[in-house]
Structure 1
Protein backbone atom coordinates (compact mmCIF):
# COMPACT_ATOMS: atom_id res chain seq x y z
CA UNK A 1 0.00 0.00 0.00
CA UNK A 2 1.41 3.39 -1.01
CA UNK A 3 1.71 5.64 2.08
CA UNK A 4 -0.22 8.88 2.24
CA UNK A 5 2.75 10.81 3.58
CA UNK A 6 6.39 9.78 3.73
CA UNK A 7 9.68 11.25 4.85
CA UNK A 8 12.56 9.86 2.81
CA UNK A 9 16.12 10.27 4.09
CA UNK A 10 14.97 13.32 6.04
CA UNK A 11 17.28 15.22 8.37
CA UNK A 12 16.81 18.39 10.37
CA UNK A 13 18.90 20.55 12.69
CA UNK A 14 17.92 23.82 14.32
CA UNK A 15 20.20 26.80 13.78
CA UNK A 16 23.59 26.37 15.49
CA UNK A 17 22.46 23.03 16.95
CA UNK A 18 23.23 19.37 16.37
CA UNK A 19 20.96 17.27 14.12
CA UNK A 20 17.64 16.43 15.78
CA UNK A 21 16.73 13.87 13.14
CA UNK A 22 19.06 12.28 10.62
CA UNK A 23 18.27 10.12 7.59
CA UNK A 24 14.72 9.42 8.75
CA UNK A 25 12.53 6.99 6.80
CA UNK A 26 8.98 7.31 8.05
CA UNK A 27 5.58 6.69 6.47
CA UNK A 28 1.94 7.14 7.43
CA UNK A 29 -0.35 4.43 6.08
CA UNK A 30 -3.96 5.22 5.28
CA UNK A 31 -6.55 4.07 7.80
CA UNK A 32 -4.04 2.95 10.47
CA UNK A 33 -4.19 4.72 13.84
CA UNK A 34 -0.55 5.52 14.63
CA UNK A 35 0.99 6.33 18.03
CA UNK A 36 4.25 8.27 18.09
CA UNK A 37 6.28 7.80 21.27
CA UNK A 38 9.59 8.98 22.65
CA UNK A 39 11.14 10.82 25.57
CA UNK A 40 11.31 14.61 25.73
CA UNK A 41 13.94 15.83 23.29
CA UNK A 42 13.72 12.73 21.12
CA UNK A 43 12.50 14.68 18.08
CA UNK A 44 8.75 13.96 18.16
CA UNK A 45 7.75 17.61 17.73
CA UNK A 46 10.30 18.13 14.95
CA UNK A 47 9.04 15.01 13.17
CA UNK A 48 5.42 16.19 13.36
CA UNK A 49 6.34 19.63 12.02
CA UNK A 50 8.25 18.08 9.15
CA UNK A 51 5.25 15.91 8.29
CA UNK A 52 2.86 18.88 8.34
CA UNK A 53 5.11 21.29 6.45
CA UNK A 54 5.89 23.56 9.40
CA UNK A 55 9.56 22.72 8.92
CA UNK A 56 11.44 21.82 5.76
CA UNK A 57 13.99 18.97 5.84
CA UNK A 58 17.57 20.14 5.60
CA UNK A 59 18.21 16.93 3.65
CA UNK A 60 15.89 14.35 2.14
CA UNK A 61 12.30 14.96 1.15
CA UNK A 62 8.65 14.87 2.18
CA UNK A 63 6.30 13.08 -0.19
CA UNK A 64 2.52 13.32 -0.43
CA UNK A 65 0.91 10.52 -2.43
CA UNK A 66 4.38 9.62 -3.68
CA UNK A 67 5.10 13.11 -5.05
CA UNK A 68 7.68 15.46 -3.46
CA UNK A 69 6.14 18.41 -1.64
CA UNK A 70 6.99 21.83 -3.06
CA UNK A 71 7.58 24.43 -0.36
CA UNK A 72 5.92 27.26 -2.22
CA UNK A 73 2.43 28.59 -1.55
CA UNK A 74 0.74 26.15 -3.89
CA UNK A 75 2.65 23.14 -2.59
CA UNK A 76 2.10 23.97 1.08
CA UNK A 77 -1.60 24.65 0.51
CA UNK A 78 -1.87 21.20 -1.11
CA UNK A 79 -0.04 19.62 1.83
CA UNK A 80 -2.06 21.39 4.52
CA UNK A 81 -5.29 20.46 2.82
CA UNK A 82 -4.26 16.85 3.39
CA UNK A 83 -2.25 17.01 6.64
CA UNK A 84 -3.23 18.97 9.73
CA UNK A 85 -1.25 19.32 12.97
CA UNK A 86 -2.90 20.19 16.30
CA UNK A 87 -0.33 21.33 18.85
CA UNK A 88 -0.31 20.29 22.49
CA UNK A 89 -1.44 23.59 24.02
CA UNK A 90 -4.79 24.69 22.52
CA UNK A 91 -4.06 28.29 23.52
CA UNK A 92 -1.29 28.29 20.89
CA UNK A 93 -3.89 27.45 18.23
CA UNK A 94 -7.12 29.23 19.18
CA UNK A 95 -7.25 32.92 18.38
CA UNK A 96 -10.73 33.91 17.13
CA UNK A 97 -13.41 35.50 19.30
CA UNK A 98 -15.76 32.51 19.26
CA UNK A 99 -15.55 28.76 18.68
CA UNK A 100 -17.45 28.94 15.39
CA UNK A 101 -15.23 31.72 14.06
CA UNK A 102 -12.12 29.79 14.98
CA UNK A 103 -13.29 26.55 13.38
CA UNK A 104 -14.32 28.38 10.20
CA UNK A 105 -10.96 30.12 9.72
CA UNK A 106 -9.19 27.31 7.86
CA UNK A 107 -11.99 26.47 5.41
CA UNK A 108 -12.50 30.17 4.66
CA UNK A 109 -8.79 30.53 3.85
CA UNK A 110 -9.15 27.73 1.32
CA UNK A 111 -11.52 30.01 -0.59
CA UNK A 112 -14.45 27.64 -0.30
CA UNK A 113 -18.00 28.83 -0.99
CA UNK A 114 -19.84 30.06 2.14
CA UNK A 115 -22.26 27.12 2.11
CA UNK A 116 -19.34 24.66 2.03
CA UNK A 117 -17.65 26.49 4.92
CA UNK A 118 -20.86 26.31 6.95
CA UNK A 119 -21.25 22.60 6.21
CA UNK A 120 -17.69 21.84 7.25
CA UNK A 121 -17.96 23.86 10.46
CA UNK A 122 -21.22 22.17 11.40
CA UNK A 123 -19.78 18.72 10.76
CA UNK A 124 -16.64 19.48 12.78
CA UNK A 125 -18.57 20.90 15.73
CA UNK A 126 -20.82 17.84 15.71
CA UNK A 127 -17.91 15.41 15.44
CA UNK A 128 -16.17 16.99 18.45
CA UNK A 129 -19.44 17.27 20.40
CA UNK A 130 -19.17 21.05 20.86
CA UNK A 131 -22.14 22.29 18.82
CA UNK A 132 -23.58 23.91 21.94
CA UNK A 133 -20.37 25.93 22.32
CA UNK A 134 -20.38 27.46 18.85
CA UNK A 135 -21.01 31.01 20.12
CA UNK A 136 -18.91 30.70 23.27
CA UNK A 137 -15.83 32.96 23.49
CA UNK A 138 -12.78 30.73 23.27
CA UNK A 139 -11.25 32.27 26.39
CA UNK A 140 -14.26 31.12 28.44
CA UNK A 141 -13.89 27.45 27.51
CA UNK A 142 -12.57 24.82 29.89
CA UNK A 143 -9.23 23.23 29.04
CA UNK A 144 -10.90 20.11 27.63
CA UNK A 145 -13.31 22.21 25.58
CA UNK A 146 -10.40 24.23 24.19
CA UNK A 147 -8.68 20.99 23.20
CA UNK A 148 -11.75 19.84 21.30
CA UNK A 149 -12.23 23.26 19.68
CA UNK A 150 -8.64 23.22 18.42
CA UNK A 151 -9.12 19.73 16.98
CA UNK A 152 -12.43 20.81 15.40
CA UNK A 153 -10.58 23.55 13.54
CA UNK A 154 -8.30 20.94 12.02
CA UNK A 155 -11.14 18.50 11.30
CA UNK A 156 -13.01 21.24 9.41
CA UNK A 157 -10.17 21.21 6.88
CA UNK A 158 -11.20 17.61 6.03
CA UNK A 159 -7.60 16.38 6.25
CA UNK A 160 -6.60 12.91 5.20
CA UNK A 161 -4.06 12.87 8.06
CA UNK A 162 -4.68 14.46 11.47
CA UNK A 163 -1.58 14.74 13.68
CA UNK A 164 -2.22 15.37 17.38
CA UNK A 165 0.54 16.37 19.79
CA UNK A 166 -0.24 14.93 23.25
CA UNK A 167 -4.03 15.43 22.85
CA UNK A 168 -4.87 13.76 26.19
CA UNK A 169 -2.30 15.72 28.23
CA UNK A 170 -3.99 17.75 30.95
CA UNK A 171 -7.32 15.95 30.62
CA UNK A 172 -8.94 14.01 33.46
CA UNK A 173 -9.76 10.32 32.83
CA UNK A 174 -13.31 11.11 31.68
CA UNK A 175 -12.03 13.79 29.32
CA UNK A 176 -9.49 11.37 27.89
CA UNK A 177 -12.15 8.73 27.23
CA UNK A 178 -14.48 11.27 25.58
CA UNK A 179 -11.69 12.45 23.32
CA UNK A 180 -10.80 8.89 22.31
CA UNK A 181 -14.46 8.24 21.47
CA UNK A 182 -14.46 11.35 19.30
CA UNK A 183 -11.30 10.24 17.46
CA UNK A 184 -12.78 6.78 16.91
CA UNK A 185 -15.78 8.41 15.25
CA UNK A 186 -13.79 10.35 12.66
CA UNK A 187 -14.23 8.89 9.20
CA UNK A 188 -11.94 9.34 6.24
CA UNK A 189 -9.11 10.65 8.40
CA UNK A 190 -5.98 8.80 9.51
CA UNK A 191 -5.01 9.88 13.03
CA UNK A 192 -1.43 10.13 14.31
CA UNK A 193 -1.09 10.74 18.06
CA UNK A 194 2.10 11.72 19.86
CA UNK A 195 1.98 10.54 23.46
CA UNK A 196 4.12 9.52 26.44
CA UNK A 197 1.39 7.14 27.59
CA UNK A 198 2.42 3.66 26.46
CA UNK A 199 -0.75 2.10 27.87
CA UNK A 200 -2.86 4.50 25.83
CA UNK A 201 -0.86 3.69 22.71
CA UNK A 202 -1.29 -0.08 23.19
CA UNK A 203 -5.03 0.33 23.72
CA UNK A 204 -5.71 2.84 20.94
CA UNK A 205 -3.20 2.44 18.12
CA UNK A 206 -2.90 -0.03 15.27
CA UNK A 207 0.75 0.88 14.69
CA UNK A 208 3.43 2.58 16.76
CA UNK A 209 6.62 4.49 16.06
CA UNK A 210 9.17 4.75 18.87
CA UNK A 211 11.94 7.35 18.69
CA UNK A 212 15.17 6.09 20.24
CA UNK A 213 18.75 7.43 20.21
CA UNK A 214 19.54 4.93 17.44
CA UNK A 215 16.60 5.84 15.23
CA UNK A 216 12.86 5.23 14.75
CA UNK A 217 11.38 1.76 15.20
CA UNK A 218 7.94 1.11 13.71
CA UNK A 219 5.53 -1.81 13.75
CA UNK A 220 2.22 -3.11 15.09
CA UNK A 221 1.56 -1.37 18.40
CA UNK A 222 0.85 -4.48 20.45
CA UNK A 223 4.07 -6.16 19.29
CA UNK A 224 6.41 -3.17 19.30
CA UNK A 225 5.28 -1.90 22.70
CA UNK A 226 5.76 -5.33 24.26
CA UNK A 227 9.54 -5.02 23.80
CA UNK A 228 11.03 -4.02 27.19
CA UNK A 229 14.48 -3.28 25.73
CA UNK A 230 13.02 -0.94 23.12
CA UNK A 231 10.95 0.91 25.72
CA UNK A 232 13.97 1.19 28.02
CA UNK A 233 16.08 2.65 25.20
CA UNK A 234 13.36 5.27 24.62
CA UNK A 235 13.03 5.88 28.39
CA UNK A 236 9.40 4.83 28.36
CA UNK A 237 7.64 2.85 31.06
CA UNK A 238 6.54 -0.70 30.21
CA UNK A 239 2.91 -0.98 29.16
CA UNK A 240 0.38 -2.54 31.52
CA UNK A 241 -1.45 -4.70 28.98
CA UNK A 242 1.55 -6.63 27.57
CA UNK A 243 2.81 -7.27 31.12
CA UNK A 244 -0.58 -8.70 32.12
CA UNK A 245 -0.70 -10.83 28.97
CA UNK A 246 2.74 -12.25 29.74
CA UNK A 247 1.66 -13.21 33.28
CA UNK A 248 -1.55 -14.84 32.02
CA UNK A 249 0.35 -16.86 29.41
CA UNK A 250 2.98 -17.89 31.97
CA UNK A 251 0.19 -19.34 34.12
CA UNK A 252 -1.51 -21.10 31.22
CA UNK A 253 -4.53 -18.79 31.30
CA UNK A 254 -4.08 -17.26 27.86
CA UNK A 255 -3.44 -19.18 24.67
CA UNK A 256 -0.64 -17.95 22.39
CA UNK A 257 -2.02 -15.35 20.02
CA UNK A 258 -5.26 -14.94 21.99
CA UNK A 259 -6.42 -11.43 22.80
CA UNK A 260 -5.60 -10.20 26.30
CA UNK A 261 -7.41 -7.51 28.32
CA UNK A 262 -6.01 -4.08 27.50
CA UNK A 263 -7.33 -2.14 30.50
CA UNK A 264 -7.94 -2.84 34.20
CA UNK A 265 -11.67 -2.54 33.50
CA UNK A 266 -11.42 -5.20 30.79
CA UNK A 267 -9.43 -7.45 33.14
CA UNK A 268 -12.15 -7.19 35.78
CA UNK A 269 -14.65 -8.84 33.44
CA UNK A 270 -12.20 -11.15 31.69
CA UNK A 271 -12.40 -14.94 31.71
CA UNK A 272 -9.65 -17.41 30.73
CA UNK A 273 -9.76 -18.48 27.08
CA UNK A 274 -7.72 -21.65 27.44
CA UNK A 275 -9.75 -24.91 27.41
CA UNK A 276 -9.73 -26.48 30.84
CA UNK A 277 -8.50 -23.34 32.63
CA UNK A 278 -10.08 -22.62 35.98
CA UNK A 279 -13.17 -20.40 35.83
CA UNK A 280 -13.83 -17.84 38.54
Structure 2
Protein backbone atom coordinates (compact mmCIF):
# COMPACT_ATOMS: atom_id res chain seq x y z
CA UNK A 1 0.00 0.00 0.00
CA UNK A 2 1.52 3.32 -1.08
CA UNK A 3 2.05 6.13 1.42
CA UNK A 4 -0.45 9.01 1.11
CA UNK A 5 0.72 12.13 -0.72
CA UNK A 6 2.31 14.62 1.64
CA UNK A 7 0.33 17.77 2.26
CA UNK A 8 3.51 19.86 1.80
CA UNK A 9 6.80 18.45 0.55
CA UNK A 10 10.26 19.44 -0.62
CA UNK A 11 11.80 17.25 -3.33
CA UNK A 12 15.52 17.36 -4.07
CA UNK A 13 15.69 20.82 -2.50
CA UNK A 14 19.00 22.64 -2.10
CA UNK A 15 19.67 26.10 -0.77
CA UNK A 16 22.72 28.27 -0.11
CA UNK A 17 22.76 31.88 1.05
CA UNK A 18 24.65 34.37 -1.09
CA UNK A 19 28.41 33.99 -0.59
CA UNK A 20 27.75 31.28 1.98
CA UNK A 21 27.97 27.49 2.16
CA UNK A 22 25.20 25.14 1.10
CA UNK A 23 22.76 24.84 4.01
CA UNK A 24 20.51 22.10 2.63
CA UNK A 25 21.44 19.82 -0.25
CA UNK A 26 19.15 17.45 -2.15
CA UNK A 27 16.59 17.42 0.66
CA UNK A 28 13.42 15.35 0.54
CA UNK A 29 11.05 16.36 3.33
CA UNK A 30 7.36 15.67 3.94
CA UNK A 31 4.71 17.26 6.15
CA UNK A 32 1.76 14.88 6.51
CA UNK A 33 -1.68 16.17 7.33
CA UNK A 34 -2.85 15.67 10.89
CA UNK A 35 0.61 14.86 12.31
CA UNK A 36 2.35 17.03 14.90
CA UNK A 37 5.96 17.32 13.73
CA UNK A 38 8.94 18.54 15.77
CA UNK A 39 12.06 19.85 14.00
CA UNK A 40 15.21 19.49 16.08
CA UNK A 41 18.87 20.24 15.49
CA UNK A 42 21.80 22.31 16.67
CA UNK A 43 22.12 26.01 15.79
CA UNK A 44 23.16 26.34 12.17
CA UNK A 45 21.71 22.95 11.20
CA UNK A 46 19.24 24.50 8.74
CA UNK A 47 15.98 24.51 10.74
CA UNK A 48 15.16 28.14 9.93
CA UNK A 49 16.07 27.67 6.26
CA UNK A 50 13.88 24.56 6.08
CA UNK A 51 10.92 26.39 7.62
CA UNK A 52 11.31 29.31 5.23
CA UNK A 53 11.49 26.97 2.25
CA UNK A 54 8.30 25.21 3.38
CA UNK A 55 6.46 28.52 3.81
CA UNK A 56 7.68 30.13 0.58
CA UNK A 57 9.85 32.75 2.24
CA UNK A 58 12.81 31.23 0.41
CA UNK A 59 12.89 29.53 -2.98
CA UNK A 60 15.04 26.42 -3.45
CA UNK A 61 18.11 26.88 -5.64
CA UNK A 62 17.36 23.40 -6.95
CA UNK A 63 14.43 21.06 -6.43
CA UNK A 64 10.83 21.99 -5.80
CA UNK A 65 8.18 22.63 -3.17
CA UNK A 66 4.83 20.89 -3.65
CA UNK A 67 1.38 21.14 -2.06
CA UNK A 68 -0.56 17.88 -2.35
CA UNK A 69 1.81 16.87 -5.15
CA UNK A 70 1.41 20.06 -7.20
CA UNK A 71 4.57 22.18 -7.62
CA UNK A 72 4.39 25.66 -6.10
CA UNK A 73 4.94 28.61 -8.44
CA UNK A 74 6.64 31.68 -7.07
CA UNK A 75 4.53 34.30 -8.80
CA UNK A 76 1.93 36.34 -6.93
CA UNK A 77 -0.86 33.82 -7.52
CA UNK A 78 1.23 30.84 -6.51
CA UNK A 79 2.57 32.44 -3.34
CA UNK A 80 -0.89 33.66 -2.30
CA UNK A 81 -2.18 30.11 -2.70
CA UNK A 82 0.76 28.76 -0.69
CA UNK A 83 0.25 31.24 2.15
CA UNK A 84 -3.36 30.23 2.53
CA UNK A 85 -2.03 26.69 3.03
CA UNK A 86 1.15 27.28 5.07
CA UNK A 87 1.89 30.00 7.64
CA UNK A 88 5.18 30.54 9.49
CA UNK A 89 5.41 32.27 12.89
CA UNK A 90 8.96 33.35 13.69
CA UNK A 91 10.59 33.01 17.10
CA UNK A 92 10.62 36.69 18.08
CA UNK A 93 7.08 38.15 17.90
CA UNK A 94 8.53 41.66 17.59
CA UNK A 95 9.80 40.66 14.14
CA UNK A 96 6.21 39.95 13.09
CA UNK A 97 4.01 42.51 14.84
CA UNK A 98 3.79 46.00 13.36
CA UNK A 99 0.20 47.30 13.58
CA UNK A 100 -1.01 49.69 16.28
CA UNK A 101 -3.42 47.26 17.95
CA UNK A 102 -3.89 43.54 18.32
CA UNK A 103 -7.02 43.45 16.17
CA UNK A 104 -5.39 45.46 13.40
CA UNK A 105 -2.36 43.20 13.37
CA UNK A 106 -4.41 40.01 13.20
CA UNK A 107 -6.55 41.44 10.39
CA UNK A 108 -3.58 42.28 8.15
CA UNK A 109 -3.30 38.91 6.38
CA UNK A 110 -7.01 38.42 5.63
CA UNK A 111 -7.28 42.01 4.38
CA UNK A 112 -4.41 41.36 1.97
CA UNK A 113 -6.37 38.43 0.56
CA UNK A 114 -9.04 40.91 -0.52
CA UNK A 115 -11.73 39.28 1.58
CA UNK A 116 -15.01 41.08 2.35
CA UNK A 117 -15.04 43.05 5.61
CA UNK A 118 -17.49 40.63 7.22
CA UNK A 119 -15.22 37.67 6.44
CA UNK A 120 -12.18 39.51 7.78
CA UNK A 121 -14.01 40.31 11.02
CA UNK A 122 -15.11 36.68 11.37
CA UNK A 123 -11.57 35.43 10.88
CA UNK A 124 -10.11 37.91 13.34
CA UNK A 125 -12.72 37.03 15.98
CA UNK A 126 -12.09 33.32 15.42
CA UNK A 127 -8.30 33.69 15.69
CA UNK A 128 -8.47 35.87 18.80
CA UNK A 129 -10.78 33.35 20.46
CA UNK A 130 -8.54 30.42 19.47
CA UNK A 131 -5.54 32.11 21.13
CA UNK A 132 -7.61 33.29 24.13
CA UNK A 133 -6.84 36.97 23.52
CA UNK A 134 -10.28 38.32 22.54
CA UNK A 135 -10.09 40.80 25.44
CA UNK A 136 -6.90 42.24 23.93
CA UNK A 137 -8.39 43.14 20.54
CA UNK A 138 -8.08 46.90 21.11
CA UNK A 139 -4.87 46.75 23.16
CA UNK A 140 -1.86 48.57 21.63
CA UNK A 141 0.71 45.97 20.66
CA UNK A 142 3.50 47.87 22.41
CA UNK A 143 1.70 47.40 25.73
CA UNK A 144 1.52 43.61 25.48
CA UNK A 145 3.54 41.21 27.59
CA UNK A 146 5.94 38.88 25.81
CA UNK A 147 3.51 35.97 26.05
CA UNK A 148 0.66 38.12 24.73
CA UNK A 149 2.83 39.21 21.80
CA UNK A 150 3.58 35.56 21.03
CA UNK A 151 -0.14 34.76 21.02
CA UNK A 152 -0.92 37.76 18.83
CA UNK A 153 1.70 36.72 16.27
CA UNK A 154 0.23 33.21 16.16
CA UNK A 155 -3.30 34.61 15.89
CA UNK A 156 -2.23 36.59 12.83
CA UNK A 157 -1.18 33.34 11.18
CA UNK A 158 -4.28 31.46 12.34
CA UNK A 159 -6.51 34.18 10.80
CA UNK A 160 -5.24 33.02 7.41
CA UNK A 161 -6.82 29.62 8.19
CA UNK A 162 -3.77 27.67 7.07
CA UNK A 163 -3.75 23.91 6.84
CA UNK A 164 -0.15 23.90 8.12
CA UNK A 165 1.09 26.16 10.93
CA UNK A 166 4.89 26.30 11.35
CA UNK A 167 6.21 27.69 14.63
CA UNK A 168 9.83 28.58 15.37
CA UNK A 169 10.62 27.96 19.06
CA UNK A 170 7.10 28.99 20.17
CA UNK A 171 7.69 28.26 23.87
CA UNK A 172 11.03 30.11 24.09
CA UNK A 173 10.89 32.95 26.63
CA UNK A 174 7.61 31.81 28.18
CA UNK A 175 7.24 30.90 31.85
CA UNK A 176 5.88 27.41 32.69
CA UNK A 177 2.28 28.61 32.87
CA UNK A 178 2.63 30.40 29.55
CA UNK A 179 4.08 27.28 27.96
CA UNK A 180 1.21 25.13 29.22
CA UNK A 181 -1.39 27.60 27.95
CA UNK A 182 0.27 27.76 24.55
CA UNK A 183 0.47 23.98 24.26
CA UNK A 184 -3.22 23.73 25.16
CA UNK A 185 -3.94 26.27 22.40
CA UNK A 186 -1.94 24.21 19.90
CA UNK A 187 -3.90 21.11 20.93
CA UNK A 188 -7.09 23.02 20.16
CA UNK A 189 -5.81 24.07 16.75
CA UNK A 190 -4.82 20.49 15.96
CA UNK A 191 -8.26 19.27 17.04
CA UNK A 192 -9.82 21.73 14.59
CA UNK A 193 -7.76 20.31 11.70
CA UNK A 194 -4.57 22.39 11.61
CA UNK A 195 -1.33 20.48 11.08
CA UNK A 196 1.37 21.93 13.36
CA UNK A 197 5.14 21.88 12.79
CA UNK A 198 7.31 23.12 15.65
CA UNK A 199 11.03 23.84 15.65
CA UNK A 200 12.50 23.42 19.11
CA UNK A 201 15.68 22.60 21.02
CA UNK A 202 13.62 21.10 23.84
CA UNK A 203 13.78 17.32 23.43
CA UNK A 204 11.49 16.77 26.43
CA UNK A 205 8.85 19.00 24.84
CA UNK A 206 9.24 17.21 21.51
CA UNK A 207 8.77 13.80 23.14
CA UNK A 208 5.71 15.02 25.00
CA UNK A 209 4.04 16.90 22.17
CA UNK A 210 5.01 15.51 18.78
CA UNK A 211 3.80 12.51 16.79
CA UNK A 212 6.89 12.65 14.58
CA UNK A 213 10.38 14.11 14.96
CA UNK A 214 12.81 15.28 12.28
CA UNK A 215 16.45 15.42 13.39
CA UNK A 216 18.69 17.67 11.30
CA UNK A 217 22.17 16.16 11.31
CA UNK A 218 25.31 16.78 9.24
CA UNK A 219 24.48 13.62 7.28
CA UNK A 220 20.94 14.73 6.47
CA UNK A 221 17.44 14.85 7.93
CA UNK A 222 16.10 11.74 9.64
CA UNK A 223 12.36 11.55 10.31
CA UNK A 224 10.22 9.04 12.15
CA UNK A 225 7.94 8.62 15.15
CA UNK A 226 8.99 10.92 17.98
CA UNK A 227 9.58 8.17 20.59
CA UNK A 228 11.70 6.15 18.16
CA UNK A 229 13.77 9.03 16.82
CA UNK A 230 14.36 10.58 20.24
CA UNK A 231 15.69 7.25 21.54
CA UNK A 232 18.41 7.18 18.87
CA UNK A 233 21.44 8.30 20.84
CA UNK A 234 23.61 8.18 17.70
CA UNK A 235 21.36 10.63 15.85
CA UNK A 236 20.85 12.80 18.91
CA UNK A 237 24.63 13.11 19.27
CA UNK A 238 24.98 14.13 15.60
CA UNK A 239 22.19 16.67 16.05
CA UNK A 240 23.79 18.15 19.18
CA UNK A 241 20.91 17.04 21.39
CA UNK A 242 20.64 15.11 24.65
CA UNK A 243 18.49 12.11 25.47
CA UNK A 244 14.99 13.11 26.69
CA UNK A 245 14.45 12.35 30.36
CA UNK A 246 11.31 10.35 29.49
CA UNK A 247 13.32 7.94 27.34
CA UNK A 248 15.95 7.59 30.09
CA UNK A 249 13.22 6.97 32.70
CA UNK A 250 11.58 4.32 30.50
CA UNK A 251 14.91 2.51 30.09
CA UNK A 252 15.42 2.49 33.84
CA UNK A 253 11.92 1.14 34.42
CA UNK A 254 12.39 -1.60 31.82
CA UNK A 255 15.76 -2.59 33.29
CA UNK A 256 13.98 -3.34 36.58
CA UNK A 257 11.07 -5.14 34.91
CA UNK A 258 8.63 -2.39 35.80
CA UNK A 259 7.68 -1.52 32.22
CA UNK A 260 7.04 -4.16 29.57
CA UNK A 261 5.05 -2.28 26.91
CA UNK A 262 7.57 -0.63 24.54
CA UNK A 263 5.06 2.11 23.69
CA UNK A 264 4.10 2.95 27.27
CA UNK A 265 7.07 4.97 28.44
CA UNK A 266 6.39 8.24 30.29
CA UNK A 267 6.42 11.45 28.25
CA UNK A 268 5.76 13.85 31.14
CA UNK A 269 6.35 13.88 34.93
CA UNK A 270 2.61 13.29 35.32
CA UNK A 271 2.91 10.13 33.21
CA UNK A 272 5.74 8.91 35.44
CA UNK A 273 3.73 9.65 38.58
CA UNK A 274 0.77 7.72 37.16
CA UNK A 275 3.00 4.73 36.44
CA UNK A 276 4.42 4.88 39.97
CA UNK A 277 0.95 4.91 41.52
CA UNK A 278 -0.55 2.21 39.30
CA UNK A 279 -1.91 -0.84 41.19
CA UNK A 280 0.66 -3.58 41.54
CA UNK A 281 3.64 -1.33 40.85
CA UNK A 282 6.69 -2.32 42.86
CA UNK A 283 9.10 0.37 44.06
CA UNK A 284 12.56 0.53 42.49
CA UNK A 285 15.09 -1.50 44.51
CA UNK A 286 17.50 0.55 46.60
CA UNK A 287 21.12 0.74 45.52
CA UNK A 288 23.75 -0.99 47.60
Partner deviation per Cα, 1:139-186 (whole Å, 9 max, x = no partner): 100000000000000000000000000000000111111000000001
Aligned: 1:151 with 2:125: no
Aligned: 1:43 with 2:43: no
Partner of 1:215: 220
Question: Do the aligned partners of 1:252 and 1:277 also contact (CA within 8 Å) in 2?
Answer: no
TM-aligned CA distance change 1:141 to 1:249, over 3 Å: same
TM-score, normalised with respect to structure 1: 0.97
Partner of 1:114: 117
Question: Do the aligned partners of 2:38 and 2:198 also contact (CA within 8 Å) in 1?
Answer: yes
Q: Tell me how far apart the structure 2 counterparts of residues 207 and 126 of structure 1 sit (CA, whole Å).
A: 28
Runs of 4+ in 1 over 3 A off after TM superposition: none
Aligned: 1:227 with 2:214: no
Partner of 1:238: 243
Aligned: 1:134 with 2:137: yes
TM-score, normalised with respect to structure 2: 0.94
Q: Tell me how far apart the structure 2 counterparts of residues 10 and 51 of structure 1 sit (CA, whole Å).
A: 10
Aligned: 1:250 with 2:270: no
Counterpart pick for 1:97 among 92, 95, 100: 100
Q: Tell me how far apart the structure 1 counterparts of residues 161 and 280 of structure 2 sit (CA, whole Å).
A: 51
Shift of 1:263: 1.5
Aligned: 1:83 with 2:86: yes
CA RMSD of aligned residues (A): 1.4
Partner of 1:69: 72
Partner of 2:269: 264
Q: Tell me how far apart the structure 1 counterparts of residues 223 and 205 of structure 2 sit (CA, whole Å).
A: 17
Partner of 1:4: 7
SS in structure 2 opposite 1:21?
A: strand
Question: Do the aligned partners of 2:106 and 2:152 also contact (CA within 8 Å) in 1?
Answer: yes
Q: Tell me how far apart the structure 2 counterparts of residues 80 and 270 of structure 1 sit (CA, whole Å).
A: 43
SS in structure 1 opposite 2:9?
A: strand
Alignment of 1:18-33 (within 5 A): 18-33=21-36
Shift of 1:260: 2.0
Shift of 1:259: 1.1
Shift of 1:268: 2.3
Counterpart pick for 1:56 among 55, 59, 69: 59
* Structure 1 stretches lacking a partner, 5+ long: none
Question: Do the aligned partners of 2:47 and 2:216 also contact (CA within 8 Å) in 1?
Answer: yes
Question: Do the aligned partners of 1:84 and 1:154 also contact (CA within 8 Å) in 2?
Answer: yes
Q: Tell me how far apart the structure 2 counterparts of residues 277 and 114 of structure 1 sit (CA, whole Å).
A: 60
Question: Do the aligned partners of 2:87 and 2:164 also contact (CA within 8 Å) in 1?
Answer: yes
